[in-house]
Amino acid sequence: MIRSVSESFIGKVDGFIALLVLASIVGCSFQSNQINFLRSLIAEDNLSAVAEWEFQDSLQRKKLIPISDGNMTLFTDGGDLLFKFDGWHIIEIRGYRALEEPASVDFVTFGYHLVAELPKKYDLWNGRPSEAPDLNRAERRYAVICSSWQRIPEVNGTHLVQQCLLEGNMAFSNGIDLDRSGNIVRIQSVLGSSGRNFEIFLNTRS
C-alpha cells in the first residue's frame, strides 16, 4: 500500500503548509477564488524556502510545494501551475496548456477507469471515449482507461507502472516511485493528448 499522501508529502513544511490547509479546498475542480487565495499565501520568498518538489518536462523545470486537501494533494508553483493528485493519478492540471488546446481551455482533467486488460482499441471497451471537446468550454476532459498497477522492486525502493490509453488511441504509462519507507518520491504521467511526458519529484538536494 502507498503511504498516506499527506504523510508522504507534507513532512518538513509543517507551519507553512498548516496555514495553507485552512484554504479547505473541496470539490472535483478548484474554483478561481480558491486558487487566488492560495496564491496570496505563497510569496516568492516563502516558495523558495519550502519548495522540495519539482515539475519537469522536456521544456521547463519549476519548483513546487504540496498542499494537503484531505485525500488529495495539490502541487503549485505559487503562480499559475497547479496539479491535483489523488494518490494514484494526476487528475487535474492548470496553468500548462498543451500546445494543441484551444485558447479558451483553462485547465484539463483526466477521468480514469481501471480495466483487467487494455483492449487493442478503445471502442472495444464496454464504454465510450469522451465526447468531442467543446471549444467554448474552459475545461478539457480526457477519458482514460488503464490496466492494474505493476510493482517493480528496485535498489532504492519500488517502482509502480501502469499502462493506459487516452481518448482511445494514445498509449502512455503512469509511474510512481516509492522510497524504502514507502513514501512517494516521484510521479510520472502525460500532460494531455500531445503525449508530452512530465514528472513531479522530490528534490532531495534542495
**pLDDT (tens digit, 0 to 9) for every residue of the chain, 206 residues total?**
335 444 444 433 343 443 344 333 333 444 555 555 555 555 555 555 555 899 999 888 889 988 887 788 999 888 878 999 999 999 999 887 544 455 656 788 999 998 877 776 554 344 444 444 454 557 788 999 999 999 999 999 999 999 999 987 789 999 999 999 999 999 999 988 888 899 999 987 65
Report the predicted TM-score, pTM, of the whole model to 2 decimal places: 0.72
DSSP-based three-state secondary structure for 151? strand
Nearest to residue 8, comparing CAs of 87, 106, 82, 80? 87
Q: According to the model, what pLDDT value does residue 98 have? A: 46
Q: Which three cell numbers stand for residue 25?
A: 479546498
* All domains of the chain in start order, with CATH: 5-202 (2.40.360)
Q: According to the model, what pLDDT value does residue 179 have? A: 93
For 68, other C-beta atoms within 10 Å of its C-beta total 20
d(CA 18, CA 11): 11
DSSP-based three-state secondary structure for 155? coil
H or E element that contains 175: strand 170-179
CA distances, 147 to each of 164, 178, 195 (Å): 6, 19, 18
In sequence order, the 6+-apart residues with CB closer than 8 A to the CB of 99 are 194
Q: Which three cell numbers stand for residue 82?
A: 497547479
DSSP-based three-state secondary structure for 41? helix
